[in-house]
Amino acid sequence: MPRVTSISGRIADFTGGVSAFQVEARTVRALMRELEGRFPGLGDFVEDQMALAIDGEIFQDALGAEIGADSEIVLIPKIAGG
Amino acid sequence: MSGVDYLAPASVADAVSALRASAGSARLMAGGTDLLVQMRGGRAKPEVVIDLKRIPGLMGIRGEGGGFVIGAATSGAALGEHEALKAAWPGVIEAANLIGSTQVQGRASLGGNLCNASPAADGVPALIAAGAVCIIEGPAGAREVQVEKVQAGPGKTTLAADEILLAFRLPPRPARSSDAYLRLIPRTEMDIAVVGVGVSLTLDAGGVCNAARVSVGAVAPTCLLVEAAGVALVGTTLDDAALAKMEAAVSAACRPISDKRGTAEYRTKVACVLARRAALIAKDRANA
Amino acid sequence: MSDGNQGGVNLKVVGQRPIRPDGVDKVTGRAQFGADFHLPGMLTGRIKRSPHAHARVVSIDTRAAEKLPGVKAIVTSADFDAGAAGEVEAGESHAAMKEVAANCLAHGKVLYQGHAVAAVAATQPEIAAEALDLIEVTYEVLPHVIDVEAAMAADAPVLHDDMYTKGVTPKPGKASNVAAKHVMGRGDVAAAFKAAGVIVEGSYETAAVHQGYIEPHACVASWGADGQSTIWCSSQGQFLVRAMVAKILNMPLSDIKVIPAEIGGGFGGKTTVYLEPVALALSRKCGRPVKIVMSREEVFLASGPTSGAVMDVRLAATKDGKITGAEMTLKYQAGAFQGSPVNLGLMTAFACYDVESLALTGYDVVSNRPKVAAYRAPGAPMAAFAVESAIDDLALKLGMDPIDLRLLNAVRDGAKTVYGATVRCCALVETLEAIKASPHYQTPVGKGQARGVAAGFWFNVGGESSAAVHVDEDGGVTVVSSNPDIGGSRASMAMMAAERLGLPIERVRCTVADTTSIGYSGSTGGSRVTFATGMAVVEAAQKIVADLKRRAAQTWECDIAMVEWKDGVATCIDPAKDVKPLSMKAIAGKSAKTGGPIAAEVSLNAQGAAAGFGVHVCDLEIDPETGRTTVVRYTAAQDVGRAIHPAYVEGQLQGGAAQGIGWALNEEYVYGKSGLLENASFLDYRMPVASDLPMIDTILIETKPNPRHPFGAKGVGEVPIVPPLAAVSNAVSRIVGRRMTSLPMSPAKVLAEMAK
Amino acid sequence: MSRMVVNATVNGEPVEFLAGGGQSLLDALRDELRLTGSKEGCGTGDCGACSVIVDGRLVCACLMLAPEAEGTRIETIEGLADNGHLHPLQHQFLEQAALQCGFCTPGLLMASKALLDRNADPTESEVRYWLAGNMCRCTGYDKVVRAVMDAAADLRQAEKPR
C-alpha cells in the first residue's frame, strides 16, 4: 500500500501526532479525500497549502497524478519563490 | 509643496530684500540637492525658495590677490573643471567632487554644503583646513568670517536670518603647499561620510612643515578645526612621531555619536587613520 | 528529424542572443511602467501611515479632510469587505487574505511604522498631501518588539492575541509571536555526532534586507458604475492582483480587469498587493480613476523586505570530510504577520549535500516590522550563509580545498532530499568542477586578498501557465504570454516559439496579455516562467505546426503523415506527389480556405521543474585600518539546464550575485530604540552601485538539460542569490582570521573583529 | 499657490509649461509634458532614474525645481534617438542585454551619454564611478559597463575620418 509521510510538523496538528501512515488511494484526488476522511481538515489543508513528492518527484496542484501501489508519498510545504 | 513661490533674483541686493520680505519663511537655494530632499521629506516647508544661481557673483571662480574667490553656488562639476584651482587646492576640489553622484555634482555647491550645516559635509573640512574665508552679505553690508565659524550645530549656522553667503576666499598659496581630503564611506560612492578629514600644509625648502591645518567632519555636531593636530605637524617632516601626535590630537577632539552610519568608537579610530593618510598625501603633493 | 522533441540538437534560435522584442521601447523611454499611465479625470491617491511601531487605533477622524476642497474620497479598513477570508496563492506561501487586507489598511491595530491606516484621493497631489495631515488618528501606543529573539521571549509584547504557535502538540495555552514551529529531519543525528571525527558549529545572524527594485509600487484603478473595473499596475502577476483585490473588495473576478504594466523589478517583492485594493476602493467611492504611487520611503517602510534570521548550525563529519549529520535551528522574522520563508530555509539548507542524518527546526516569528515579502529564493540565502560558513570551517579544520570538500559531499542524481524529492538532472558536481577549472580559481589568490567559495540551491517551480500563438495572415507570429516580463522573458518566449515553428526570430513577436485576454497564469516568480509558460508556448506552437501540416495535407490532398514541417516550410515527402513546398506565409495567406484563422492557446499545470545549483567564488581585500571590503574578482557558475537566451541567463547570475554581495556587505534595516526604521532611503540603505563591483564572470553549465522541458530549460533566476552571502563572508573570514557570523559585514563590524 | 510659465527647449523643441514653485523638473516633465521616460525611483537624487541633461550638465530631474528650467536646454531619453535612429548607446544596451526590467535604463543611457559627450574613451573605472549615481538592481552592472565602453568604441569609430 502507498505510504504517506510528512516533513511538516503542521500535519500533526490534524493527525494528533501521527506522522506516517498507509493509504489506499491511487490518485492524488483520492488521497485528498482519504486524508480528509481520516483526519478532518487535513485533506483540505494539504490540497490548499501543501505539495507532494510522489516517489521523489514533486507535484503541486496535480490532483490527477497517479499513485503506485508501493509509492512513497511525502507531504511537503508548497514551493513558490520570488 | 503647495504654495511655494520661486524667486530667482538677479542681484545680491534683490536677494537680500526678498529674504527680508519673507520674514523667515524663505529658504535660499544654491544647487538645491539638500533643500529639495528636505522639502520632499517635509523637513523643510518654505513658502518662498530664493534661487541664487542667477546672481553673477555667486557663480564661477575668479583669481583675486593671488588666491581664488569661489562663488558660493558654483557647482562641484564646474570646480572640478577649473585646472588652476585644482592645481592649487586639490584637497578642496576632491572634497567638493565627493559630494554625491555625477548628477549631484552638476548642481551641488560648496556654499550649499556649508550652509546646510551637516556635520558630515564633505566640502567643509577641506575648506576649514584650507583656511578659507566666507564673504557674507547682509542688510548691514558685507563681512568676512572664517569657514569654521559658520556651522553652529546640525542644520544651524551663525549667519543671521537675512544674510547670504556670497563666496569663499581661498588665500594665496606659498610654494610647496598642498592639501588633501579623505572620507570613509561603506560603499565607494553615494554615501554620507562616516568620517571626513581635510589637511592643508606648507613645507619649507628642507621638507619641514611650517604651517598645517587639520579639520575633521562627522565626529562632532559641526566640522572641527583641530588646531593641536596642525601644531603637531609644524616643525616636523611628518615623521611617525609627529603623525602619532597629530592622531592623538584628532582623537582628543572627536566627540562623535553612534548612529546608523557608524559607531562613536569606529568614527574616532578612523578619523585618526584618515588624518594620517591625508597628511601624507598632502605632503607628497606639496613635494611634487 | 521532423518535429519531435528537439532536445539540444540542431537548435537554430534557442541558444542565440537576439535583441528582445520589447527592447526598443525600453531604451527610448516609451515603455509604460505603473506610474506612467494617465487617465482623464484621474485623481491622486495617498496613504496615511502609522508613525508608531505598535499601537491600537482608537479612532480615525476624517471629517476635516473630507471638507478640504478637492478631496474626493477617503477610505479606511472599514471600506474593505470585513468578511474577506479564504486564500489566494501568493509568493512563497499562501497569504491569508485577512492579513493581506489588514496589511493594506490596518484593522484595529498598527503593527509597524508605516502601516497604512487610511487613504485619500484628491484632484491634486498637494491637496492629497494636505488632506493626509487633516486626517486625525488617535493611537494608544503599545510596547513594541523588533528583533526575532526578543519577540520569542516569554514576556515580549504580543502582536496578535489570537496567534497560537502551530506545529506544536499539544496546542500552546497562550498566544505568542511564534506563528509556527517547523521540524524536519531524517536518520540518527545523535549517532552521527557521537561517531563524528570532526564537529564544527556556529551561530549566525543576517539582517532584514529589501528587494530594492528601483520602481516603487504604482497603480491606477478605475471603477465603473456597473462595477466593472480596470487596474493598471506593475506587479509580478496580473492574475494574482485580480484574485487578491476581488477577495478584499468582495467582487467577482470577472468584474476586474488587470492590465499588467511594464514592471521595474520585483525579485519577489511584487507578488502581493499593497496599493491596488486601496486605489480601487477609493475609485469605487468617488467614481473616478485613482493613481497611487509609493515614495521610496514608503517602499522601505511598508513593502518587502525579507526576513532577518538567527541561526545555529552544527555539522558532524568524518576525518576525511564526509558530512554525516547536521543540526540546524532557524528563527526567521516574518514581520507583522505570519509567513516567513523559514520552511524553505529548512528545505534548502542542506539541499546541495548528501547528508545522511539531519535534524532541522524552524520558527516563524512576528514582530513590529513590515510584513516580509518573497525575495529571490525566499528563505534560502540566509540558511545557505550559515551552512556554507560551517562547511568553510570544516574545510579549514581539515585543511581541505573548499571545492574538494564540497565535491566529496555534493548531491548527485538519485540522492534523497530531506523534503522527499529525489535529485534528478543535477549538475552540481559539474558546476563545482567548472569553478575549480575556471581561470579565476586557477589564478593564485592576490597578495593581501582572500578567496571564498560557496554553493547554493533553489527548487525552481512549474505550475499554472497559459500562452497563445497567433499566426498572422502574412505568416508572421504573435506569441501572447500570460506573465509579466521582468527580465526579458518575452525574448525567450518568442525564441522558443520561433524554434518550434522554424521561423527566424524577427518573424515572431511577443506580448504580455491582461487578465481578460489569456487564460490564467501563476505569477512571474519561483523561476517558473521560462519553464512553465515556455512549455505552454511550445505546446501552442506544436499545435500550430500540426494545424499547418493538416492544412498543407488538405491543400495537397495527401496523407498528413506525408507532410514534413521544417524551417518554417511544409514539404510533401510523398514521392508520388509533385508539389512545391508551402511556406508559412503561403499557408497563412489562404487560411480562410483551409479552416479559418490559425491560432492556438494552451493552458497547463507544468510539473517536472528541475532544481538548480550554483557555485560562486569571490576574491576580495580589506583595508586593515578601516575594515572596508573591496570585492576584486567574482565568478558565478550555475547548472542552468539549457540557456534559451544565454545573455539574459548570464544577467540573472550577475544580478543575483550583486544583490547577494550587497546583502553580505552593507544592506540592512536599521531600527532605533523607538522601533522606527532609521534608514528608509537608498542613501542609507546602501545597495551596491556600479563602482562597488567588479565584472562578474559567469559560467553556464548545460550538461544536464531538463528532460521535462522541450528545450531542457531550468529556472535560473533565484539560484544566484543563494551562494554570495557565504562566498563573500568566507573570504572576509579568511582575512580577518575569525569566522564572520553576522551580516552585513559593514566596515565597523569587520574592524572590530580584526581587532579581537 | 502661484504657478509660473516656464519656457525651455526640450529635445530641441521649444516648450512652454506651467510650473508650481515647489514642483520638481521631473514632475513637470512627466505630468505637464507627459515625457514619462524619465523615471522616479527615489525622488531624492540617490538612484539616477530621472537623469536628464540640462545645458550640457547631467542632473537628477528630481533635484531641480521646474521653474529653474526657464531658458535652459534640456535633453531627455525621448530625444536620444535621432529621428528614429537609435544612438550607439541604445544599440549596445540592446545588443549586450544591458537591461532586464528596463526601469533604470533611461537614466543610465542619459548618464552614459553625458559621459561620452566629454570622454570619448573612458576606462572601466571611469565608467563605473561616473555611473555610481545610477542604481540598477537587476544587472549587477557588468553588461551595462560593457555596453557603455563598446558604444564609446563605436562612436570613436564613427568619428574617424574615412
- Give dist(CA B66, CA B87) in Å, integer: 14
Closest residue in A to C379 (Cα–Cα): A81
Do residues C215 and C264 make contact, with C-beta atoms less than 8 angstroms apart? Answer: yes
The answer to whether D67 contacts B33, with C-beta atoms less than 8 Å apart, is no
For residue C453, pLDDT beyond 70: yes
- Give dist(CA C375, CA C94) in Å, integer: 15
- Successive 10-residue mean pLDDT values, chain A, 82 residues: 86 83 93 93 88 90 90 90 82
Instruction: Give pLDDT tens digits for C211-264.
Output: 999 999 999 999 999 999 999 999 999 999 999 999 999 999 999 999 999 999
Please give the model's pTM, rounded to 2 decimal places: 0.97
- Give dist(CA C536, CA C541) in Å, integer: 9
**What's the confidence (pLDDT) of residue D160?**
81
Domain closes at, from D56, D79, D102: D79
**What's the confidence (pLDDT) of residue C9?**
67
Q: Are residues D69 and D109 in the same domain?
A: no
Torsion, Cα of C467, C473, C477, C478 (10° steps)? -50
Question: Does the beta carbon of C87 lie under 8 angstroms from any beta carbon of chain A?
Answer: yes
From the list B41, B188, B269, the residue facing C689 with the nearest CB is B188
Work out the minimum CA distance from B228 to partner chain D, whole angstroms: 36
The residues near D58 (Cβ < 8 Å, ≥ 6 apart) are: B102, B103, B106, D51, D52, D110, D111, D114
Residues 231-290 in C contacting A (C-alpha not used; CB under 8 Å):
266-269, 271
Question: Does the beta carbon of D67 lie under 8 angstroms from any beta carbon of chain B?
Answer: yes
Of C450, C435, C442, which is closest to residue C403 (Cα–Cα)?
Answer: C435
For residue C662, pLDDT beyond 50: yes
Starting from the edge strand earliest in sequence, which strands make up the sheet with C598-606, in order? C508-512, C477-481, C463-471, C598-606
C17, C28, C666, best to mutate vs chain D, most D CBs in 10 Å: C28
Q: Are residues D12 and D73 in the same domain?
A: yes
Question: Does the beta carbon of A56 lie under 8 angstroms from any beta carbon of chain C?
Answer: yes
Domain closes at, from D37, D59, D79: D79
Answer CATH for B5-51 from 3.40.50.150, 3.40.50.620, 1.10.10.10, 3.30.43.10: 3.30.43.10
Please, what sign has the CA dihedral across residues B99, B104, B106, B111?
Answer: negative
Instruction: Give pLDDT tens digits for C618-654.
Output: 999 999 999 999 999 999 999 999 999 999 999 999 9
- In the 3-class helix/strand/coil scheme, how is B5-19 assigned residue by residue? EEECCCCHHHHHHHH
Domain ranges of chain C: 23-31+462-606, 34-143+211-302, 393-460+610-755
- Give dist(CA C678, CA C25) in Å, integer: 37
The answer to whether C215 contacts D125, with C-beta atoms less than 8 Å apart, is no
Subunits in contact with chain D (3 or more CB pairs closer than 8 Å) = B, C
Q: Which residues of chain D have pLDDT under 70?
A: 1, 162
- Give dist(CA B102, CA D52) in Å, integer: 12
Q: Are residues D99 and D68 in the same domain?
A: no
Work out the minimum CA distance from D70 to partner chain C, whole angstroms: 23
**Three cell numbers at B143?**
563681512
**What's the confidence (pLDDT) of residue C314?**
98
Instruction: Give pLDDT tens digits for C306-336.
Output: 999 999 999 999 999 999 999 999 999 999 9
The answer to whether B4 contacts D22, with C-beta atoms less than 8 Å apart, is yes
**Three cell numbers at B62?**
575668479
Question: Does the beta carbon of C82 lie under 8 angstroms from any beta carbon of chain D?
Answer: no
**What's the confidence (pLDDT) of residue B76?**
97
Do residues C655 and C720 make contact, with C-beta atoms less than 8 angstroms apart? Answer: yes
Q: Do chains B and D touch (3 or more CB pairs under 8 A)?
A: yes
Judging contacts by C-beta atoms under 8 Å, the chain D residues touching residue C211 are 137
**What's the confidence (pLDDT) of residue C3?**
40
Question: Does the beta carbon of B103 lie under 8 angstroms from any beta carbon of chain C?
Answer: no
CATH 2.40.420.20 fits B60-170, yes or no: no
**What's the confidence (pLDDT) of residue C594?**
95
From the list C20, C214, C263, the residue facing D137 with the nearest CB is C214
Instruction: Give pLDDT tens digits for C164-181.
Output: 999 888 889 999 999 999
**Three cell numbers at B284?**
607628497
Mean local confidence (pLDDT), C53-81: 96
* φ/ψ (deg, to 5) at C601: -125, 140
User: What CATH topology corresponds to C23-31+462-606?
Assistant: Aldehyde Oxidoreductase; domain 4 (3.30.365)
**What's the confidence (pLDDT) of residue B65?**
92
Q: Just give the CATH number of C393-460+610-755.
A: 3.30.365.10
| C34-143+211-302 shares the fold of C23-31+462-606 | no
- Percent of chain C whose predicted confidence (pLDDT) is above 90: 95
User: What CATH topology corresponds to C34-143+211-302?
Assistant: Aldehyde Oxidoreductase; domain 3 (3.90.1170)
Average model confidence (pLDDT) across chain C: 95
- Say what the ipTM of the complex is: 0.96
Domain ranges of chain A: 3-77
More confident: C8 or C535: C535
Q: Are residues D59 and D98 in the same domain?
A: no
From the list C262, C296, C648, the residue facing D43 with the nearest CB is C296
Subunits in contact with chain C (3 or more CB pairs closer than 8 Å) = A, B, D
For residue C345, pLDDT beyond 80: yes
Domain ranges of chain B: 5-51, 60-170, 177-287
Can you give the CATH number for the domain in which D112 is found?
A: 1.10.150.120
Do residues D8 and D18 make contact, with C-beta atoms less than 8 angstroms apart? Answer: no
The answer to whether D97 contacts C216, with C-beta atoms less than 8 Å apart, is no
Instruction: Give pLDDT tens digits for C91-136.
Output: 333 447 889 999 999 999 999 999 999 999 999 999 999 999 999 9
For residue C563, pLDDT beyond 60: yes
Q: How many CB atoms lie within 10 A of CB C608?
A: 17
Task: Tell me which residues of chain C have a C-beta less than 8 Å from any C-beta of chain B.
Answer: 124, 126-127, 129-130, 295, 297, 625-628, 665-666, 670, 678-679, 682-684, 686, 688-689, 691-692, 746-748, 751-752
* φ/ψ (deg, to 5) at A54: -105, 115
Q: How many CB atoms lie within 10 A of CB A16?
A: 9
Q: Which class would CATH give A3-77?
A: alpha beta
For residue C88, pLDDT beyond 60: no
The answer to whether C264 contacts D101, with C-beta atoms less than 8 Å apart, is yes
The pairing of beta strand C55-61 with beta strand C71-75: unpaired
The total domain count for chain D is 2
For residue C67, pLDDT beyond 70: yes
Of B189, B260, B199, B190, which is closest to residue B225 (Cα–Cα)?
Answer: B199
Average model confidence (pLDDT) across chain D: 96
User: What CATH topology corresponds to B177-287?
Assistant: Enolase-like; domain 1 (3.30.390)
Domain that holds residue D14: 3-79
**What's the confidence (pLDDT) of residue C4?**
42
Do residues C713 and C11 make contact, with C-beta atoms less than 8 angstroms apart? Answer: no
**What's the confidence (pLDDT) of residue D87?**
98
For residue C87, pLDDT beyond 80: no
Q: Could you tell me the pLDDT band of residue B85, with boundaries at 50, 70 and 90? A: very high
Q: Do chains C and B touch (3 or more CB pairs under 8 A)?
A: yes
Question: Does the beta carbon of C683 lie under 8 angstroms from any beta carbon of chain D?
Answer: yes
Residue type, C78: A
Do residues C183 and C360 make contact, with C-beta atoms less than 8 angstroms apart? Answer: yes
Residue type, C398: L
Judging contacts by C-beta atoms under 8 Å, the chain B residues touching residue D43 are 40
From the list C182, C422, C424, the residue facing A9 with the nearest CB is C182
**What's the confidence (pLDDT) of residue B140?**
86
